[in-house]
């Protein structure tokens, strides 16, 4: 990736296209372990110049809280710049499962309090699986709460963030969102989110592709016990991935670098969200993103045929 710089691509608001693809640093596990290590990681993320993705319920709220503590230690100018690159999400009530407009407003209020900010550039509706799309879009539903927060300036933009592409598509079809995030469905193994992303781009939405490694299978290779999409990878999938890894090694590049490049260079993707658990992992990720992939790799990967993806989103086609 010598033709693009992924550093200092901080975007304070969802600015109009054209924009080069960027890395977004995920923080789903931030704050779940040693506090000093978490703070060190948070500071490295904030100083990276990259967008940071968090959520109300990540690590039980510790992800946002750790970022807020780290922000407070920065000098005013540095803090302002870093705060403008934090994207977060509203979540259902972790105890009751409630996910209506009032819950969205409360979730956002709690998130801003933890982060120590007055507004965010992007606020996603996160994993709305406990409500139907119809109820979420109805008056008093979760989406009406998000729209209100955008109108009040609490969020410059609003998005829908979830996994199953058909479910996400129904929210996109409402025309109410500025951005879409889908995870595990635009990878070396599975490209089922492509139609969703293409449609979102035609609508002028910003597209975030999360989890380009699909788990540790594409990040660490097809070893026994490797996982893809939150479950153990089948023998067939590990066999296919072993073939892909062999192609990469023949050309002197790593499987993770190829998997990341697929998302970073996709015409339908604006930003790629990758979880980062330490400063060392951040540096490793930047190295992967700077890798140039020989053209021959793509032809040889195509020759392997489709990967046996375990993802089946067919049951999400109806309002469920």
How sure is the predictor about 144, in pLDDT bands with cuts at 50, 70 and 90?
A: very high
Mean pLDDT across 243-271: 97
Q: Is there a domain that residue 318 lies in?
A: no
Q: Is there a domain that residue 288 lies in?
A: yes
**Residue 261 burial (CB < 10 Å; 0-12/13-18/19+)?**
buried
pLDDT in tens, 52-73: 999 999 999 999 999 999 999 9
- Beta-strand (E) ranges in 163-249? 179-183, 206-210, 227-228, 231-232
- Interatomic CA distance for residues 129 and 320, integer angstroms: 8
> Has residue 20 got a pLDDT over 90?
no
Q: Is there a domain that residue 13 lies in?
A: no
Label residues 190-208 b or e (16+ Cβ within 10 Å = b).
Answer: bbbbbebbebbbeeebbbb
For the chain, what is the domain count? 1
> Domain of 174: which CATH number?
3.20.20.100
Q: Is there a domain that residue 312 lies in?
A: no
Q: Is there a domain that residue 185 lies in?
A: yes
pLDDT in tens, 176-219: 999 999 999 999 999 999 999 999 999 999 999 999 999 999 99
> Has residue 3 got a pLDDT over 80?
no
Mean pLDDT across 66-83: 97
How sure is the predictor about 317, in pLDDT bands with cuts at 50, 70 and 90?
A: low
Predicted confidence at residue 22, as pLDDT, reads: 87
**Structural contact between residues 51 and 11, judged by C-beta atoms closer than 8 angstroms:** yes
Q: Is there a domain that residue 10 lies in?
A: no
> Has residue 2 got a pLDDT over 80?
no
- Interatomic CA distance for residues 94 and 77, integer angstroms: 35
Percent of all residues in the chain with a pLDDT value above 90, rounded to a whole number:
91
Q: Is there a domain that residue 17 lies in?
A: no
- Give the structural domain span for 290: 22-305
SS3 label, residue 157? strand
> Has residue 17 got a pLDDT over 70?
no
- Interatomic CA distance for residues 222 and 243, integer angstroms: 10
Predicted confidence at residue 319, as pLDDT, reads: 57
Q: Is there a domain that residue 15 lies in?
A: no
């Amino acid at each position: 990736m010598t033709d693009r710089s992924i550093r200092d691509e901080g975007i304070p608001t969802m600015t109009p296209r054209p924009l080069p693809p960027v890395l977004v640093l995920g923080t789903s596990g931030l704050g779940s372990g040693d506090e000093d290590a978490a703070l060190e990681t948070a500071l490295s993320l904030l100083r990276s110049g990259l967008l940071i993705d968090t959520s109300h319920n990540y690590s039980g709220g510790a992800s946002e809280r750790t970022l807020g503590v780290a922000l407070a230690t920065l000098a005013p100018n540095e803090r302002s710049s870093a705060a403008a690159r934090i994207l977060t999400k509203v979540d259902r009530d972790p105890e009751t499962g409630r996910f209506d407009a009032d819950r969205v407003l409360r979730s956002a209020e709690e998130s801003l309090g933890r982060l120590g900010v007055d507004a965010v550039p992007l606020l996603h509706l996160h994993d709305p699986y406990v409500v139907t799309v119809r109820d979420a879009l109805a008056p008093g539903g979760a989406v009406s709460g998000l729209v209100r927060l955008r109108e009040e300036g609490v969020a410059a933009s609003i998005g829908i963030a979830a996994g199953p592409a058909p479910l996400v598509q129904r929210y996109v079809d409402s025309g109410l969102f500025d951005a879409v995030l889908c995870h595990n469905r635009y990878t070396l193994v599975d490209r089922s989110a492509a139609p969703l992303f293409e449609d979102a781009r035609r609508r002028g939405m910003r597209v975030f592709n999360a989890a380009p490694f699909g788990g540790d299978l594409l990040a660490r290779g097809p070893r026994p016990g490797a996982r893809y999409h939150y479950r153990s990878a089948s023998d067939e999938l590990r066999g296919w991935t072993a073939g892909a890894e062999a192609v990469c090694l023949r050309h002197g590049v790593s499987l993770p670098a190829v998997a990341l490049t697929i998302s970073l260079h996709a015409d339908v993707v604006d930003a790629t969200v990758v979880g980062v658990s330490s400063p060392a992992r951040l540096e490793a990720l930047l190295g992967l993103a700077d890798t140039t992939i020989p053209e021959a790799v793509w032809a040889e990967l195509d020759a392997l045929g489709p990967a046996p993806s375990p993802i089946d989103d067919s049951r999400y086609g109806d309002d469920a």
